[in-house]
Structure 1
Amino acid sequence: MSGSLGGYAKFYETEPTQIDDDGTRTWFTGGRNFVIAYSSVTADGRLDRADHPDEYFVFLPGIEATIVTAEGERRVGAADRDTVVVVPPGDSSVRAHASGDIWRFFTAEAADLRPYRQELDNDAVVAAPVYFPRPTGGYRVRVYDLAGLGASTRAQVLQTRSLMINVLKPVVERRSVTELSPHSHDDFQQGSVAVRGVFVHHQRRPWGRNKLAWAADDHEVCASPSVAVIQPGDVHTTEEIGTGVSQLVDLFCPPRLDFALTEGMVLNAGEYPLPPAGAVRAGGVVEG
């Protein structure tokens, strides 16, 4: 059959998309609405964005960096914990203080990032990229020390106007094979990012009327660093395998309304208010 399930980017098996003069290596991949950049940075390495059109996430897994924007410089992150930073639109730079890994999560709004998008190969529909209202207090660098957020569950969900990430806390224990959680999403892609550890992404496409879109079940082993892009409608669950610490980060664009509407789930919801009544539509938000 010609159908296939979501794509995989195993950065440990491929050459980087770009190598900077300071030795920093960066790989890009994406979905329809989002782009993910993984960088193996050197000490004093820098990751620049010029005239970037919207906010983006920086995930610092146990590394310290300085965020440079029009408002000045801000030192963030630490070697013993994970940090998420929201960077405002405009010119910005992420400057590492030690060698390590840095992840950036973007919408596909910027023209130079669009070539890294992944187009659909089936007849599923992806919700259009849309925006929540402007953040409380306007655009600025926003820093979230994940160790200090105090979430009682494994999931730590944060959002911008147009992106949402679910940072799963690192684990050592393996989930029982009798307690996996297969599910599907009607109208949005999910970027499932392997930050630490080894996983199996289990995926299945329900049979529809179009036999050409049918696909065989998929059980893809992905080590870190890697990204799995999961298509709308495909049943999926992820299983940790191997030994040592495992950690996933899930990315969504536009933000998931089911998460945004769940009291207490989005940890920075007070900074990114919901749209006014009547502005919500299936799959996203109509900007008001």
Structure 2
Amino acid sequence: MSNQTIMATQARHYASAAQQVAPGASTWLTRGANFVVAVTQASAGTELARDNNPDEYMVYLVDTAAVIEAGKERIEASADSLTIVPPGASRVTLSGAGQVVRVFSTKASDLASAAGNAGLYAAGAPEVAPLQAWPDPVGGFKLRNYLVSEHTKPDSNMRIFRSSNLMINIMTARQVARDVHKLSPHSHADFEQGSLAISGDWVHHMRYPWTVDMTTWKEDEHIEMGSPSLLVIPPKVIHTSRNVNDGGSALIDIFAPPRMDFSSKPGMVCNAAEYPMPAVQPA
């Protein structure tokens, strides 16, 4: 097992300066090897524009509606909805004050280089599998909007969507503190996980793998974070998260490229019919 080269990123938006500040809007940028997360708190009428984005990106409207435009398309997206935006020029105009989450691939190089933790990836991330686009969506690239609540299932807290380059899991909010006897520690062999806390107070538990070099071993971490905040978890690190408050705690998990394990389970990805899987899948 190779030495871990990238440490977990702890981005506490509520306690740190935004990377981008404009009249009426503050945007916090944090990246992984393959994704960039932009969390914006803005006033009504704010425009979030991309002149020529190289690939698809996702927009999750946390608590405000917005008009989203791309090419000749225009949609009115409600709060608690996810929109997949096609490559090229696009614009998100907020209808009211609120929080907007945008997820890009690192092909959006201007955003990746502006991220608060960009220096961690200056030498690359060899332990992370490279970003590889999946097949184009059925019917071509266009605005696709999903009201997240319509995809809630009675037997799962997961609501997973994928595009050709990204995957997002907008989990249902936990209304009571998570039972410490029912956690879910796990790890990922070659991809990062971004865990974005939208509301609530969280403790993220992480255990780094031991390598042959004992001097590189790291103590377990139990990271306390409020909201909004983002934890970027490296490959091979055993992790699980628990909200420690009652009254509502929401977490979004982010991956790039889409996860094959989730995609291979029928019915697990809400919009799987629109986004084909690769014809040749990894063994």
Give the TM-score normalised by structure 2.
0.92
Structure 1 residue 63, shift from structure 2 partner: 1.2
Unaligned runs of 5+ in 2: none
Residue 216 of structure 1 deviates from its aligned partner by 1.1
Letter in 1 for 2:222: H
Q: Sort the Cα spacing of 1:122 and 1:270 in 2 relative to 1 into closer, same or farther, 3 A.
A: closer
**Which residue of structure 1 aligns with residue 88 of structure 2?**
90
Residues 232-243 of structure 1 mapped to structure 2, 5 A cutoff: 232-243=235-246
How much is the aligned-residue C-alpha RMSD, in angstroms? 1.9
| Kept after mapping to 2: 8 A contact 1:193/1:227 | yes
> What is the CA deviation profile of residues 256-287 of structure 1, one whole-angstrom value per residue up to 9, with x for unaligned ones?
100010110000000001121xx2236xxxxx
| Aligned pairs (5 A) from 1:1-288 | 5-21=7-23, 23-78=24-79, 82-115=80-113, 116=115, 117=118, 118-119=120-121, 125-152=127-154, 153-276=156-279, 279-281=280-282
1:113 CA displacement: 2.0
Letter paired with 1:138: G
The amino acid that maps onto 1:16 is A
Distance 1:211 1:24, change over 3 A: same
**SS of alignment partner, residue 155 of structure 1:** coil
| Separation in structure 1 between the aligned mates of residue 145 and residue 158 of structure 2, nearest angstrom | 18
Which letter does structure 2 place at the counterpart of 1:15?
A
Q: State the SS of the aligned residue for 2:196.
A: strand
- Give the letter aligned to residue 86 of structure 2: P
CA distance in 2, matches of 1:15, 1:227: 14
Q: Alpha-carbon deviation of 1:208?
A: 1.4
- Decide whether aligned partners of structure 1 residues 122 and 184 sit closer, same or farther in structure 2, where only a CA change above 3 A counts: farther
Deviates most, 109-118 or 40-49 = 109-118
Q: Secondary structure at the match of 1:201?
A: strand
Query: Shift in Å at residue 123 of structure 1?
Result: 8.3
Deviations 1:72-108 (A, max 9, x none): 3211113xxx111101100011100110100000100
Percentage identity across paired residues of the two chains: 37
Inter-partner Cα distance in structure 2 for 1:189 and 1:120: 16
Contact 2:33 2:125 in 1 (8 A): no
Tell whether the 8 Å contact from 2:152 to 2:158 is kept in structure 1 after alignment.
Answer: no
Q: Is the 8 A contact 1:3 1:122 kept in 2?
A: no
2: distance between equivalents of 1:119 and 1:87? 26
After superposition, give the CA deviation of every residue in 1:23-60 in whole Å (9 maximum; x if it has no partner): 11111001111100000010101111110000001011
CA–CA separation in structure 1 for the residues paired with 2:122 and 2:265: 29
Find the aligned partners of 2:21 and 2:260 in 1 and give their Cα distance: 37
Q: 1:41 to 1:7 in 2, by over 3 A?
A: same
Q: Structure 1-normalised TM-score?
A: 0.91
Alignment CA distance shift 1:26-1:275 (3 Å)? same
Which whole-Å deviations, capped at 9, do the CAs of 1:160-217 have from their partners, x for residues lacking one?
0010001100121222111111110000000000011110000001211133432111
Q: Which amino acid aligns with 2:10?
A: Y
How far apart are the structure 2 equivalents of 1:88 and 1:136?
13
Q: Secondary structure at the match of 2:190?
A: coil
Cα gap change, 1:124 to 1:239, in 2 (>3 Å): farther
- Kept in 2: contact 1:62–1:83 (CA 8 A): no
Do the aligned partners of residues 124 and 220 (structure 1) sit closer, same or farther apart at CA in structure 2, a change above 3 Å counting? farther
The structure-2 alpha-carbon separation of the partners of 1:121 and 1:90, relative to structure 1 and needing over 3 Å to count, comes to closer
